[in-house]
């Protein structure tokens, strides 16, 4: 989207754009509310991915990060889903809301927690205006994987295939190279897939079936619907206990095996990346729906 188009959204529809240097403050408020909610309901979670790295290396956000990731053991994840079907809000003021996979603005196979006082447009999606949601926290499910490596690899490859289909059916023209060159074909494919019942929702359900049917116990655990590599399988003992550590002006839960997890995912995680790689990876603009202090 061009700067002119973004300014038009700002001026004509949404009011004031949220400055980039305020994004982390809003994300932190979502994380704090989610932490308190999990405590009230006896749910287990761990911050994950870049949020875990930030918690350990920076005692808060990675300075240039622009999202929050958490992961929940399967029983807690589905308990959260069960509670949210009855009442989707985390707070009495109805500011923080759970978005399930079936919600219209969530086109991905995992739960999100949104701040309803904000609205964010992710320009990677072809219908980003229709699926715009509040600034969010991603909630992934931590599942056991098969002890048989060949069976685990088979399911990983199946999920990777389903994930590619969901991306092709939901991405727009702002996607990264080389996919953007095939965007005209993606549009045609999307029309055909939706017409014959093989749209994005179909492939998301295929991914979720792998998660739902995962073993109840095992030696390894993984995020089955959003694994970035087959190596992202972690020993069960890495998640045998939750530790509380400082995060900005509060605390969050991290897995006891955080060092092993970070090394497997990032390698030399204690070392800062080159300066030209210190940037957020989400392409979105966020606006206020309800400004601070307003009702």
CA 183 to chain centroid: 24
Helix (H, G, I), strand (E, B) or coil at 218: coil
Token pair, residue 116, equals: 């309803």
Is this prediction's pTM over 0.85? yes
Question: What does each C-alpha distance from 48 to 39, 51, 140, 172, 207 come to in angstroms?
Answer: 18, 5, 9, 27, 20
Query: How far apart (Å, rounded) are the C-alpha atoms in residues 257 and 217?
Result: 18
If one compares 215 and 279, the residue with the highest pLDDT of the two is 215
Q: Show the tokens assigned to 232.
A: 């992202």
31: exposed, middle or buried (C-beta count within 10 Å: 0-12, 13-18, 19+)?
buried
What band does 127 get if pLDDT is binned at 50, 70 and 90? confident
For 83-233, strand residue ranges (E) read 96-99, 111-115, 118-122, 136-144, 220-222
3-state secondary structure of 69: strand
Query: Distance between CA atoms of 69 and 138, rounded to whole angstroms?
Result: 5
Task: Give pLDDT tens digits for 140-197.
Answer: 999 999 999 999 999 999 999 999 888 888 877 766 666 666 667 777 888 888 889 9
Taking phi over 0 as left and psi of -120 to 50 as alpha, with beta for the rest, 286 belongs to: beta
What was the pLDDT predicted at 2?
Answer: 46
Average pLDDT, stretch 76-102?
96
Q: Which residues does residue 185 pair with via DSSP β-bridges, in sequence order? A: none
Q: Three-state SS for 276?
A: helix
Distance CA 147, CA 126 (A): 39
Q: What is the pLDDT of residues 193-237, one digit of tens each?
A: 888 998 889 999 999 999 999 999 999 999 999 878 888 999 999
Q: What is the mean pLDDT of residues 101-125?
A: 92
pLDDT in tens, 7-29: 444 444 556 899 989 999 999 99
């Amino acid at each position: 989207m061009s700067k002119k188009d973004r300014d038009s959204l700002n001026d004509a529809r949404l009011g004031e754009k949220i400055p980039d240097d305020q994004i982390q403050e809003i994300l932190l408020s979502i994380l704090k509310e989610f932490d308190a909610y999990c405590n009230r309901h006896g749910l287990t979670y761990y911050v994950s991915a870049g949020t875990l790295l930030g918690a350990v290396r920076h005692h808060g956000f990675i300075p240039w990060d622009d999202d929050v990731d958490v992961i929940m053991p399967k029983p807690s994840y589905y308990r959260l889903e069960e509670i949210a079907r009855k009442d989707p809000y985390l707070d009495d003021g109805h500011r923080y809301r759970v978005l399930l996979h079936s919600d219209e603005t969530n086109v991905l196979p995992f739960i999100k927690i949104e701040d309803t006082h904000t609205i964010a447009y992710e320009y990677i999606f072809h219908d980003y205006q229709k699926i715009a949601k509040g600034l969010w926290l991603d909630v992934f499910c931590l599942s056991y994987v098969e002890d048989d490596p060949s069976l685990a690899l088979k399911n990983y490859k199946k999920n990777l295939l389903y994930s590619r289909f969901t991306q092709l059916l939901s991405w727009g023209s702002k996607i990264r190279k080389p996919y953007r060159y095939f965007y005209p074909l993606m549009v045609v494919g999307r029309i055909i897939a939706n017409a014959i019942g093989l749209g994005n929702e179909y492939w998301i359900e295929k991914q979720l079936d792998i998660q739902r049917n995962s073993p109840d116990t095992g030696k390894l655990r993984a995020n089955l619907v959003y694994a970035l590599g087959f190596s992202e399988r972690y020993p069960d003992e890495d998640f045998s206990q939750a530790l509380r550590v400082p995060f900005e002006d509060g605390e969050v839960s991290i897995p006891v095996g955080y060092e092993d997890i970070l090394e497997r995912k990032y390698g030399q995680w204690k070392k800062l990346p080159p300066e030209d790689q210190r940037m957020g990876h989400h392409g979105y603009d966020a606006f206020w729906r309800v400004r601070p202090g307003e009702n």
